[in-house]
């Protein structure tokens, strides 16, 4: 684990030195060193080597493998999180009457692909969260003997609530129910425990501060061998020879889910960012982010007229500090803070401040002072 200072980290992110940027949950700002990744990607292509793409693909797989704590062979790439969830949803051999559990406050990417399955006779049951928090009891209420899949987000995009995937997955697996996770709000910020997760999808443009256009999907290799991927190509098969007999012999593990090539410049960026975070220490990164959001929540809770939404327990949240100011719409608070140079986002009625390693204690102060001033105006 390196002892690089947070000031040095911050200097890598131009956006963080120009404004109080608390919106990584929407888009992570690109660090300066990724400029070199982009240049490297295109310079390499000026004189293509036969294996140029394969090399960076494998490096990115290894980097995600270390972050996820899994075999790199279990990692495949698509264009975004939504693609990964669609692949999970459409690669299961559904039978009419099978059931999927989703929850009411999830991002549309983790609802619409499951809802589309209704056209194949699958029933979608909706667990009701309370104020953006999903309890075990709420999930249990909608589980039946026909449930085959539960789909949740690792960290909820509006409340910042973090699910305990290990506990949920262990419970579901005892009942032979699969678990699919939208992990984009945690990717790069927290190493997930994938012991009992079957699919984990994300993209690199939030916590990994990379470009749009690259999604990652973990597919449990044991589950993968039982599935026929919803999209296939030369990468999916054991042999490159075209199987004219129509008998497609898929690769033995998760790589059957990798049909073809993906966005190589973005793979460079993903690998470089993961290696940067690893050089700081993945757990040190998580600790820092949880501390910053915790400090913000503690101080916001003391402001008259402010109600914090994100749970305070450190293991029930990550980088998001979500709150409401009574008497004001979230959009009005977002706008008022923006005029003070503090960038947050209005989401689903909440004001969402989201922290990353480029943020500082002073950013917390400026957020808190800004919210206190806005709240004072309505409550004066
Ligand atoms: C929880 C969640 N899932 C999915 C997405 C969309 O991801 P993508 O564009 O990679 O499909 C977002 C974007 O804000 C999100 O917050």
CB 77 within 8 A of CB 267: yes
At 181, is the secondary structure helix, strand, or coil?
A: strand
For atom 2 of ligand 1, the residue with the nearest CA is 107
Atom of ligand 1 minimally distant from the CA of 79:
10
> Measured from the CB, is residue 184 less than 6 Å from ligand 1?
yes
Q: What is the pLDDT of residue 379?
A: 74
Q: What are phi and psi of 49, to 5 degrees?
A: -90, 155
Q: What are phi and psi of 33, to 5 degrees?
A: -65, -15
C-alpha 292/C-alpha 321 separation (Å) is 9
Nearest to 379, CA basis, from 306, 310, 329: 306
Atom of ligand 1 minimally distant from the CA of 156:
1
Residue to mutate, 155, 156, 157, 213, ligand 1, most ligand atoms under 8 Å from C-beta = 157
> Measured from the CB, is residue 109 less than 6 Å from ligand 1?
yes
Burial class (CB in 10 A: 0-12, 13-18, 19+), 109: buried
Domains and CATH numbers, the chain: 6-30+281-372 (3.90.1150.10), 34-278 (3.40.640.10)
**Which pTM does this prediction carry?**
0.97
Q: Between 282-300 and 264-280, two packed helices, what is the crossing angle to 10 degrees?
A: 80
State in Å: Cα 30 to ligand 1 middle: 17
Spans of the chain below 70 pLDDT? 1-2, 52, 380
């Amino acid at each position: 684990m390196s002892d690089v200072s947070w000031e040095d980290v911050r200097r890598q992110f131009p956006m963080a030195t120009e404004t109080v940027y608390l919106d990584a949950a929407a888009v992570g700002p690109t660090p300066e060193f990724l400029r070199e990744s982009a240049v490297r990607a295109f310079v390499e292509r000026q004189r293509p080597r036969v294996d140029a793409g394969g090399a960076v693909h494998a490096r990115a797989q290894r980097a995600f493998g270390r972050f996820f704590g899994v075999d790199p062979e279990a990692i495949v790439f698509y264009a975004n999180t939504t693609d990964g969830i669609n692949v999970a949803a459409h690669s299961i051999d559904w039978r009419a009457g099978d059931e999927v559990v989703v929850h009411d406050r999830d991002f549309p990417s983790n609802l619409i692909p499951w809802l589309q399955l209704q056209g194949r006779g699958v029933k979608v049951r909706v667990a009701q969260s309370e104020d953006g928090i999903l309890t075990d009891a709420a999930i249990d209420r909608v589980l039946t003997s026909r449930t085959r899949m539960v789909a949740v987000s690792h960290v909820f995009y509006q409340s910042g609530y973090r699910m305990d995937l290990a506990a949920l997955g262990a419970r579901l697996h005892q009942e032979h129910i699969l678990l699919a996770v939208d992990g984009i709000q945690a990717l790069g910020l927290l190493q997930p425990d994938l012991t009992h997760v079957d699919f984990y999808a994300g993209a690199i443009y939030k916590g990994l501060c990379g470009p749009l256009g690259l999604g990652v999907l973990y597919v449990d290799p044991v589950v993968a061998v039982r599935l026929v991927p919803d999209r296939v190509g030369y990468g999916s098969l054991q042999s490159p020879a075209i199987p004219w007999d129509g008998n497609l012999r898929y690769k033995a593990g998760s790589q059957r889910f990798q049909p073809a090539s993906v966005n190589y410049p973005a793979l460079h960026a993903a690998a470089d960012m993961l290696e940067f975070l690893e050089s700081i220490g993945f757990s040190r990164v998580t600790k820092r982010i949880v501390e910053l959001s915790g400090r913000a929540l503690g101080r916001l809770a003391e402001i008259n007229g402010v109600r914090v939404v994100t749970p305070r327990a450190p293991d029930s949240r990550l980088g998001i500090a979500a709150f409401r100011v009574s008497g004001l719409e979230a959009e009005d608070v977002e706008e008022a803070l923006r005029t003070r140079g503090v960038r947050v986002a209005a989401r689903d009625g909440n004001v969402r401040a989201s922290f990353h390693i480029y943020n500082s204690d002073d950013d917390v102060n400026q957020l808190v002072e800004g919210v206190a001033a806005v709240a004072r105006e309505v409550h004066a």
